[in-house]
Amino acid sequence: MQKTMATRTQRTFSNTFLLLFFCLTVASCGGKLVFSEYKTLQGARWHQDSILRFDLTIPDSSKLYNLFLNVRNEGRYPYSNLWLFVNITPPKGQVIHDTIELSLATPEGKWLGYGLGDLYDMKYPYKQTTFFPTAGYYRLEIRQGMRTEDGFLKGIHDFGVTLDHSN
């Protein structure tokens, strides 16, 4: 009987601790996140002509934001980098074009980011402490720029965009 009571007390304490940890984690991030979305690439294949579109809203043009690009690659991804063509269409004004390279692995071949099984997740800072001059809808269009024989980049499982308030 006493052993059962001790087990219940330990379980209650563990559950309370986990709930408290979860609440603190959510509370610390809650006010900062503005937008987060991932697109899953069917069969972990991204064709060179396939454009990933993300529509996000900038609620307040007087604040600064951080924009991140999120890559989830498989361990069978054949390269250590990823070239991207990015277009940002603001509510008013001209489209911003950008070409960027993301490093997915070290020169020694070790995957960057956090791994779970055969998937590696990395969050790359793209635009830090950025001022968006107009509140409203912005469209991000992202196309992979890797050269492959058949036009398909294999091994990228998901691609995402995250926007949060800058401190």
- Asked if pLDDT for residue 4 goes beyond 70, the answer is no
Are 122 and 151 in a shared domain?
yes
Are 10 and 78 in a shared domain?
no
Interval 24-83: pLDDT, tens: 344 444 469 999 999 999 999 999 999 999 999 999 999 999 999 999 999 999 999 999
Are 12 and 38 in a shared domain?
no
User: Which are the contacts of 7, defined by CB distance < 8 A and separation ≥ 6?
Assistant: none
Are 67 and 123 in a shared domain?
yes
Could you tell me the pLDDT band of residue 10, with boundaries at 50, 70 and 90? Answer: very low
The whole-number average pLDDT for the span 123-131 is: 95
Are 15 and 70 in a shared domain?
no
Are 97 and 118 in a shared domain?
yes
Are 6 and 85 in a shared domain?
no
- Asked if pLDDT for residue 22 goes beyond 50, the answer is no
Are 48 and 75 in a shared domain?
yes
Map residue 97 onto helix, strand or coil. strand
Q: CA 69, CA 57: separation in Å to the nearest integer?
A: 16
The domain total for the chain is 2
The residue segments making up the domain with residue 108 are 32-165
Could you tell me the pLDDT band of residue 1, with boundaries at 50, 70 and 90? Answer: low
Residue bearing the bigger pLDDT, 68 or 1: 68
- pLDDT at position 29, please? 46
- Specify whether the CB–CB gap between 36 and 153 falls below 8 A: no
Are 19 and 41 in a shared domain?
no
Are 17 and 71 in a shared domain?
no
Mean pLDDT of the chain: 86
- pLDDT at position 14, please? 38
pTM (two decimals): 0.79
Are 21 and 41 in a shared domain?
no
Starting at the edge strand found earlier in the chain, the sheet holding 52-58 runs 52-58, 136-144, 81-89, 96-103
CATH number of the domain that residue 127 is part of: 2.60.120.1300
Nearest to 144 by CA among 42, 36, 49: 49
- Asked if pLDDT for residue 9 goes beyond 70, the answer is no
- pLDDT at position 2, please? 54
Map residue 55 onto helix, strand or coil. strand
Are 101 and 38 in a shared domain?
yes
